[in-house]
Amino acid sequence: MSDFKVPSYPGLVLYRCLLWLALPFVLLGLWWRGQRDPAYRPRWRECFGSYSAASKQGAIWFHTASAGETIAAAPTIRALVEAQDQLAPVLVTTMTPTGSEQVATLLGEAVEHCYAPYDFPFAVQRFLEHMQPSALILMETEIWPNLVLQAKAQGIPVMLVNGRLSAKSARGYQRFRWLANRVLRAFDLIACQTSEHAQRFAQLGVAQSRLQVVGNVKYDLNIPADIEAQARSVALQLGPPPQGYWIAASTHLGEEEVVLRAHLTACQTVPNLTLLLAPRHPNRVAELASLLDRTVPDNWCRYSDLIGPKAEAFSDAGSERPHRVVVVDQMGVLLPLFALARVAFVGGSLIPRGGHNPIEPASVQTAVLTGPHHFNFAQVYADLVAAGACEEIDSGSLVTALQDLLGQPERGQAMGRVGGQVVAANKGATQRTIVLIQAELSR
């Protein structure tokens, strides 16, 4: 048992009181999600630390909240499983059904999986008593006060890998330092993406001895050797070949309308151009249907209509012409679509969400466009922009940038090549992270 005790200080007491006040709204939100997405219903009790199935105790617990984080963390988790060589099981927790699906798809039986408990003290305690993990590894920004402090109090090493702290987030932590500082100081290791992130953690009170700079594990993406063949296969299934594809990936409400306007304008100079529209949350397709019906009536379809069991019936119904917009309504299919596209716009960046990961399109040598709000991946975008692999645009200049790249294919190809070089130059963070994790586990 650790000498560390869960501190009782005003900030934590206030946080826990606020959690109790929020509990009815959390339950209502969970019920509402279950109405919109039935996948939330069967295992909702796990969110409160109630697990019916027996689990292997003493596992190394790796927490990734969402599908995106799971995809990014999968190479690190696989490397950890291999490094442990069955010495200890690995448990991966998520907080969404799509994250759960990605664990099954990417990691299979190599790991155990369940939902992570919400950050209520009783839920966290139930989880810890049931699972009795030997270590807790959090990903990027998943810093939950009760989770960290209660695990630490039970002698469980607590680590944050691929840690990042933007300037905006650092200001937020400073405002809530009455709660955050003691939580951050409880970490045994924070493996940061950049020295700037490490400096911000240090300014919040984390000891330098617990901070390491290892790079971004998301650069260690495994690209299949046959990715070009996969892209060609998808193109055949999408129907008669258009003049070209471009993709708008990980888009949010407020971005799709801008993207569709830019697409229709570009179609005036690039006939038979197809947009692959991939919302960040595929279950928003029903929400997008009315916008698509207004913008491209009778000229859009779902990706699953063309790829998968419904494709033959869809073709028999007479839908054999190229579709102006294909809405990607499946998870885990973007890599060959990035390889197929001539230009990739990465969403969450025209609105102040902080942007999403541009490494996948860069890794398959596709030119990248981003909006001005990309602080979640500030260093990655800075590297890509500096190399000439990425262009920053806004809502008004998206169409101009798109037309320029489509009209000058050699320029887009050059951007793609240097993007691939940036990705290759930044690989290696996964192995450095594993070395640090093993060192902490052996203490």
The pLDDT assigned to 283 comes to 81
Catalytic residue among 69, 112, 255, 256: 69
* Residue 73, C-beta contacts closer than 8 angstroms, at least 6 positions apart: 62, 64, 139, 162, 217
Give 315's pLDDT tier (boundaries 50, 70, 90). low
User: What digits encode the pLDDT tens for the residues 277-292?
Assistant: 999 988 888 889 999 9
- Which CATH entry fits the domain spanning 227-425: 3.40.50.620, 3.40.710.10, 3.40.50.2300, 3.40.50.2000? 3.40.50.2000
Distance of CA 73 to the CA centre of its chain: 9
Burial of 120 (0-12, 13-18, 19+ CB in 10 A): buried
| The predicted structure's pLDDT at residue 317 | 46
Q: What is the structure's pLDDT at 310? A: 60
For strands 189-192 and 273-279, give the pairing: unpaired
What's the CA gap between 311 and 315, in Å, rounded? 6
Lowest mean pLDDT among 15-19, 90-94, 96-100, 367-371: 96-100
Percent of the chain with pLDDT over 70: 94
d(CA 221, CA 363) in angstroms, rounded, equals: 8
- Domain ranges in the chain are 10-42+57-220+428-441, 227-425
CB-based contacts of 259, cutoff 8 Å, min separation 6: 248, 251, 275, 277, 345, 398
Helix axes 145-153 and 10-36, enclosed angle (nearest 10): 120
Least confident interval from 7-11, 77-81, 125-129, 421-425: 7-11
Q: What is the rounded average pLDDT for all residues in the chain?
A: 90
Establish whether domains 10-42+57-220+428-441 and 227-425 are of one fold. yes
Confidence of residue 383 (pLDDT cuts 50, 70, 90): very high
pLDDT given for residue 204 in this prediction: 93
In this prediction the pTM is: 0.84
Which of these ranges, 29-43, 112-126, 155-169, 214-228, has the smallest mean pLDDT? 29-43
Residue 423: half-sphere exposure toward Cβ, Cα within 13 Å: 26
- CB within 8 Å of 387: residues ≥ 6 apart: 418, 419, 421, 422
Cβ atoms of 135 and 157 within 8 Å: the answer is yes
Task: Band the pLDDT of 316: cuts 50, 70, 90.
Answer: very low
- Per-residue tokens: 139: 């990903």
What the block records as the tokens of 251 is 């888009």
69 has catalytic annotation:
yes
Span 235-246, pLDDT tens digits: 888 876 666 899
Mean pLDDT of 138-159: 94
Output 8 or 205, whichever has higher pLDDT: 205
Tokens of 154: 């039970």
Q: Could you tell me which of 355, 347, 344 has the C-alpha nearest to residue 420?
A: 344
Three-state SS letters, the chain: CCCCCCCCCHHHHHHHHHHHHHHHHHHHHHHHHHHHCHHHCCCHHHHHCCCCCCCCCCCEEEECCCHHHHHHHHHHHHHHHHHHCCCCCEEEEECCHHHHHHHHHHCHHHCEEEECCCCCHHHHHHHHHHHCCCEEEEECCCCCHHHHHHHHHCCCCEEEEEECCCHHHHHHHHHCHHHHHHHHHCCCEEEECCHHHHHHHHHCCCCHHHEEECCCHHHCCCCCCCHHHHHHHHHHHHCCCCCEEEEEEEECCCCHHHHHHHHHHHHCCCCCEEEEEEECCHHHHHHHHHHHHHHCCCCEEEHHHHCCCCHHHHHHCCCCCCCCEEECCCCCCHHHHHHHCCEEEECCCCCCCCCCCCHHHHHCCCEEEECCCCHHHHHHHHHHHHHCCEEECCCCCHHHHHHHHHHCHHHHHHHHHHHHHHHHHCCCHHHHHHHHHHHHHCC
Residue 373: phi, psi to the nearest 5? -100, 85
Query: What pLDDT is attached to residue 38?
Result: 79
Q: End-to-end CA distance of the chain: give it in Å, rounded.
A: 14
Whether 151 shows a pLDDT value over 60: the answer reads yes
CA distances from 260 to 81, 248, 251, 345 (A): 43, 10, 11, 12
pLDDT at 198 over 70: yes
Architecture of the domain whose range is 10-42+57-220+428-441: 3-Layer(aba) Sandwich (3.40)
| Tens of pLDDT, residues 354-371 | 999 999 999 999 999 999
